[in-house]
């Protein structure tokens, strides 16, 4: 039914290209649109009106942020009019009009209509990771144009991380001349080869950084499109590149030598002084109210041994390393507040107690954001399950270049940021994040971003009651095609495969519903349906983080009880590989059969002839055949190859015939 609706809508728009086009194709979907009688040439003059009495009355009950972006677009037979309170609303209205004109064609017409529109949330953002792979300012200009078309209003730049520092800081020049460069162009190769930096200009120096002039141009370009740029300067974790350039900021071991983890030393006053100076220069460039300081995934191991960290904890009565991180975050919360700015961080900044003025970007699910808002802190929702668009969006067999997880357009669109909130006063909005570990090129990044950014834009702008996926998908196909005509490398929705076909079917077999005894335990990180997983007749989707894939950190060994003696002719299972995530294929399996559960006499050893691809995923059925052997108990073992980056086994079902 969904495909039929999309085809019908595409056919309708195809007719509009020579006849007329109207608000029914817009993304985001407008709050209100009315089709009037007649149509108008797309080239009619446009009259812009700000602050009229009638428009002020129309928006008087809206929150201020919504009123400022609200617009009224009227297309009449003799002219076109855009009304708004000021420049921001006029700009949003122009975006709608320009898209209608583009879709009408050179000789086409626009349906006479009236569109009254305003945003649902104040923060409608995208994050681009410049650290793992560096993309220059021209790329950012292009993506800002796309964001403007989608009425998104926040660009979050992840400027610093272990893999590279990407912003010029005059007070600490080696951040740009050394920490911004590495010996390998690809993050994956850098990750496998010691996480080293390189001197700028050396033969094996790959990377780059934004000069201050580059960054100012980006800010100005974004401002013209009414988009705020929020810089992220990571601390205290994800900071190995800083320690490579300035080892004096590292923790000390028992011999007084620097420890090169990803963590800065919160016990060192020099760290605080250094980052205050860095933030001073960042604030000179970026006028955003929020400055993002990261705060996520600090390892904290070195802090437990570092004499300076231990002294800091003792001096301030800090019971653990979470409290030590909280103490450090509070220093920068206060400092940014003294400069008229606000601290924004990933939800780990809540560990050990949240700084008074801090806002939270909730990524580890939704509960942290809900909790922070209930405590009176502003929140931006960015949960991985819906908003991490570096995850695979369709059939991954053809190639790699994505993080673990399957996140199709429909699932992104299904997200409602208000779910779970009793009070949405502190809910600022949502953001999509595009981490770039496996995304080395601009073309690849655009492929991952669009059309899923369309869905995020509509979630952030359009009232929940007006959203419908079937309707949206048809409009998304049209917009994706249009963006490709402008030179964007969007994912092709026309050829979308959807989830793994096997995951849509129940596979019936002799062991269905039978109990499983785990000789080696499954990983608590990837339990699937726990003890029921391997015999529940359900197979997994495209990715190992789907519910039906059960993970073993190392070899696996289980015993299935069929309940009574049956004739067994085949025992096997589907295994998944994804070397980017250290998930490998078994080198071999062993199957042993028994009638009493004690004496396993019949056995088969099967070597795996398949090799896991270096990029992308594979799905391999590996099993053993028998000549109708009577058995009640089946012992199934799978052994890893021992090769580097093959640390996990993932299996979705043990099939017995």
- Are 40 and 67 part of one and the same domain? yes
493 lies in a domain?
Answer: no
488 lies in a domain?
Answer: no
Distance separating alpha carbons of residues 270 and 248, to the nearest angstrom = 8
479 lies in a domain?
Answer: no
Per-residue model confidence as pLDDT tens digits over 201-239: 999 899 999 999 999 999 999 999 999 999 999 999 999
Q: Are 84 and 71 in contact (CB under 8 A)?
A: yes
Distance separating alpha carbons of residues 275 and 242, to the nearest angstrom = 11
- Are 513 and 623 part of one and the same domain? yes
- Are 322 and 205 part of one and the same domain? yes
DSSP state of 548: T
Number of domains, the chain: 3
φ and ψ at residue 43, rounded to 5 degrees: -95, 15
In the predicted structure, residue 614 carries a pLDDT above the cut 50: yes
Determine the pLDDT at residue 468.
98
- Counting Cβ atoms within 10 Å, is residue 217 exposed (0-12), middle (13-18) or buried (19+)? middle
Q: How do 403-406 and 359-362 pair as beta strands?
A: unpaired
- Are 48 and 193 part of one and the same domain? no
Of the candidates 90, 137, 324, 131, the one whose C-alpha atom is nearest the C-alpha of residue 242 is: 131
Of the candidates 102, 117, 132, which is a domain's last residue? 117
Q: What is the pTM of this model?
A: 0.91
325 lies in a domain?
Answer: yes
Q: For a pLDDT cut of 90, what percent of the chain falls above it? A: 86
User: How far is C-alpha 267 from the geometric centre of its chain's CA atoms?
Assistant: 32
- Are 150 and 83 part of one and the same domain? no
496 lies in a domain?
Answer: no
Q: Are 187 and 201 in contact (CB under 8 A)?
A: no
Please, how many CA atoms are within 13 Å of residue 346, restricted to the half-sphere of its CB?
23
Please, how many CA atoms are within 13 Å of residue 296, restricted to the half-sphere of its CB?
18
- Are 452 and 424 part of one and the same domain? yes
Per-residue model confidence as pLDDT tens digits over 482-498: 999 999 999 999 999 88
Distance separating alpha carbons of residues 227 and 286, to the nearest angstrom = 12
Distance separating alpha carbons of residues 371 and 124, to the nearest angstrom = 21
Of the candidates 66, 93, 117, which is a domain's last residue? 117
Of the candidates 92, 117, 142, which is a domain's last residue? 117
Strand stretches in 180-314, DSSP E: 181-182, 206-207, 228-235, 251-252, 258-259, 290-294
Q: How far is CA 230 from CA 285, 500, 573, in A?
A: 11, 37, 47
In the predicted structure, residue 99 carries a pLDDT above the cut 50: yes
Nearest-10 crossing angle of helices 137-149, 442-449: 20
Question: Which CATH number characterizes residue 103's domain?
Answer: 3.30.379.10
Tokens of 640: 């890893």
Active site residues: 161, 238, 297
Per-residue model confidence as pLDDT tens digits over 136-171: 999 999 999 999 999 999 999 999 999 999 999 999
Rounded mean pLDDT, 255-284:
97
- Are 173 and 266 part of one and the same domain? yes
Question: Which CATH number characterizes residue 419's domain?
Answer: 3.20.20.80
In the predicted structure, residue 129 carries a pLDDT above the cut 50: yes
Of the candidates 464, 335, 327, 448, the one whose C-alpha atom is nearest the C-alpha of residue 389 is: 448
> Mean pLDDT for the chain?
93
Question: Which CATH number characterizes residue 601's domain?
Answer: 2.60.120.1190
305 lies in a domain?
Answer: yes
179 lies in a domain?
Answer: yes
- Are 265 and 313 part of one and the same domain? yes
Q: Name the residue range of residue 647's domain.
A: 501-656
Distance separating alpha carbons of residues 352 and 156, to the nearest angstrom = 26
Q: Are 89 and 69 in contact (CB under 8 A)?
A: yes
- Are 108 and 186 part of one and the same domain? no
SS3 523: coil
- Are 518 and 603 part of one and the same domain? yes
- Are 127 and 236 part of one and the same domain? yes
- Are 181 and 288 part of one and the same domain? yes
Distance separating alpha carbons of residues 431 and 442, to the nearest angstrom = 20
Per-residue model confidence as pLDDT tens digits over 408-423: 999 999 999 999 999 9
Q: How far is CA 326 from CA 269, 320, 353, 366, 373, in A?
A: 15, 10, 6, 21, 18
144 lies in a domain?
Answer: yes
């Amino acid at each position: 039914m969904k495909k039929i609706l999309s085809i019908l809508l595409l056919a309708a728009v195809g007719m509009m290209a020579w006849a007329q086009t109207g608000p029914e194709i817009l993304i985001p979907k407008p709050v209100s649109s009315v089709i009037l009688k007649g149509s108008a040439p797309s080239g009619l003059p446009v009259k812009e009106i700000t602050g009229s009495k009638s428009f002020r009355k129309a928006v008087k009950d809206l929150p201020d942020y919504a009123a400022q972006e609200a617009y009224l677009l009227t297309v009449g037979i003799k002219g076109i009019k855009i009304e708004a309170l000021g420049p921001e609303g006029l700009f949003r209205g122009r975006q709608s009009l320009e898209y209608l004109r583009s879709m009408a064609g050179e000789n086409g017409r626009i349906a006479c209509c009236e569109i009254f529109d305003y945003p649902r949330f104040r923060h409608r953002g995208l994050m681009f990771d410049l650290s793992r792979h560096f993309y220059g300012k021209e790329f950012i200009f292009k993506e800002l144009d796309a964001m403007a078309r989608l009425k998104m209003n926040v660009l979050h730049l992840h400027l610093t991380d272990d893999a590279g520092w990407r912003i010029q800081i005059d007070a600490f020049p080696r951040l740009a001349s050394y920490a911004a460069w590495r010996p390998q162009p690809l993050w994956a190769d850098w990750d496998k080869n010691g996480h080293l930096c390189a001197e700028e200009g050396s033969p094996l120096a790959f990377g780059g950084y934004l000069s201050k002039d580059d960054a100012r141009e980006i800010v100005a370009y974004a401002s013209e499109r009414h988009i705020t740029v929020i810089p992220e300067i990571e601390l205290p974790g994800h900071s190995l590149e800083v320690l490579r350039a300035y080892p004096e900021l590292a923790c000390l071991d028992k011999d007084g030598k620097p420890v090169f983890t990803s963590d800065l030393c919160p016990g060192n006053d020099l760290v605080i002084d250094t980052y205050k100076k860095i933030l001073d220069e960042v604030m000179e460039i970026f006028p955003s109210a929020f400055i993002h300081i990261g705060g996520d995934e600090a390892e904290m191991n070195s802090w437990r041994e570092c004499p300076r960290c231990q002294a800091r904890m003792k001096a301030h009565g800090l019971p653990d390393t979470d409290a030590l991180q909280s103490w450090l975050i509070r220093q920068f919360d206060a400092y940014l507040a003294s400069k008229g700015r606000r601290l924004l961080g990933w939800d780990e900044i809540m560990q050990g107690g949240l700084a008074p003025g801090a806002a939270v970007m909730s990524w580890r699910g939704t509960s942290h954001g809900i909790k922070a808002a209930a405590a009176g802190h502003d929140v931006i929702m960015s949960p991985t399950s819906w908003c991490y668009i570096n995850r695979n969006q369709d059939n991954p067999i053809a190639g790699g270049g994505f993080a673990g997880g399957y996140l199709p357009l429909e699932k992104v669109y299904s997200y409602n940021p208000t779910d779970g909130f009793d009070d949405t006063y502190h809910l600022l909005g949502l953001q999509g994040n595009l981490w770039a570990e496996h995304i080395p090129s601009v073309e690849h990044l655009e492929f991952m971003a669009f059309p899923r950014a369309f869905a995020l834009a509509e979630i952030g702008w359009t009232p929940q009651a007006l959203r419908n996926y079937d309707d949206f998908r048809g409009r998304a196909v049209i917009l994706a095609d249009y963006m490709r005509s402008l030179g964007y490398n969007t994912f092709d929705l026309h050829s979308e495969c959807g989830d793994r076909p096997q995951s849509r079917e129940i596979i019936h077999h002799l062991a269905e519903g039978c109990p499983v005894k785990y000789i080696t335990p499954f990983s608590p990180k990837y339990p699937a349906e726990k003890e029921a997983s391997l015999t529940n007749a359900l197979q997994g989707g495209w990715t190992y983080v789907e519910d039906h894939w059960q993970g073993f950190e190392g070899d696996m060994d289980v015993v299935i009880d069929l309940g009574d003696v049956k004739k067994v002719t085949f025992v096997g299972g589907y295994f998944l590989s994804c070397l980017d995530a250290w998930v490998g294929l078994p080198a071999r399996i062993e199957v042993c059969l028994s009638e009493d559960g004690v004496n396993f006499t019949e056995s088969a050893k099967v070597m795996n002839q398949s090799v896991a691809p270096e990029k992308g995923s594979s799905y391999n059925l590996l099993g053993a055949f028998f000549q109708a052997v009577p058995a009640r108990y089946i012992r199934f073992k799978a052994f890893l190859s021992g090769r580097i980056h093959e640390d996990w086994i993932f299996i979705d079902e043990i099939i017995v015939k």
